Amino acid sequence: MRPRARKGRREEQQVHVIVVGCGRVGSGLAASLESQGHSVAVIDRRAEAFRRLPSGFSGASIVGVGFDRDRLLEAGIERAGALASVTNGDNSNIVVARVAREAFQIERVVARIYDQRRAAIYERLGIPTVATVQWTIDRVLRRILPDASSVEWIDPSARVCLVERVVPDSWAGHPISELEIPGRSRLAGVSRLGKGSLPADNLLAQEGDVAWVILSGGAIDEFDSYLAAGPVKGGH
């Protein structure tokens, strides 16, 4: 009886997802969603783009533009739980996202945006975005210039953010929990020798540690200065 109960809960979590754009990202996303048991409809203006979908893909493949109301209805947007617009055009993606959100009240909408400045604006309007180019740049910079300041994630209101920082050698041997500044920063995780983990209360920092820290939106400079200054004798 227990296995059937688990199966029932899994079925309740399945959603219908519309993916606009069948490039490498869109086709991979569609395949991943279907492999997890979700139903998927893919829209692309070029029929040949559907060749990227894996053999045996059982979702709908619809030729057209993603902001066309008829194409969205054909894709099942009236029963959709989520939509991702991941074409190679910023303008198209944001129009699709807005139509899905405003005309069809789809709550879970994501738009792929290459221009980081636009991405920040749309995030503040409540439309989550994936700015692939800037994300890649930040990841590369973080590896070749460990001291470069960058933000991993910021919420739409810009009041909370997540940063990744290499822990300076001066912190080695000190409790890594001391990276927390009451009311300003909270340690979320630690990567050591390439392996991530939740930080234990008694974990001591080591050379080469990478910390993921949740910060108040206005505390990034304050935290970076605190990190660079090294541990305070006797703690906070």
pLDDT in tens, 107-135: 888 888 877 667 767 766 667 777 665 55
- Which of 109 and 159 is assigned the larger pLDDT? 109
Q: What architecture is domain 14-135? A: 3-Layer(aba) Sandwich (3.40)
CATH 3.30.70.1450 range(s) for the chain read 146-229
- Which of 67 and 146 is assigned the larger pLDDT? 67
Q: What is the pLDDT of residues 27-38, one digit of tens each?
A: 999 998 998 889
DSSP codes joined into one string, 126-189? T--EE-HHHHHHHHHHHHH-TT----SEE-TTSSEEEEEEEPPGGGTTSBGGGG--TTTEEEEE
Q: Is the pLDDT of residue 73 over 60?
A: yes
CATH 3.40.50.720 range(s) for the chain read 14-135
Q: Quote the pTM value.
A: 0.58
Task: Tell me if 201 sits within 8 A of 233, measured CB to CB.
Answer: no
Q: Which strands form 108-112's sheet, in the order they lie side by side?
A: 60-63, 39-44, 16-20, 82-85, 108-112, 129-130
Q: What CATH number does the domain located at 146-229 have?
A: 3.30.70.1450
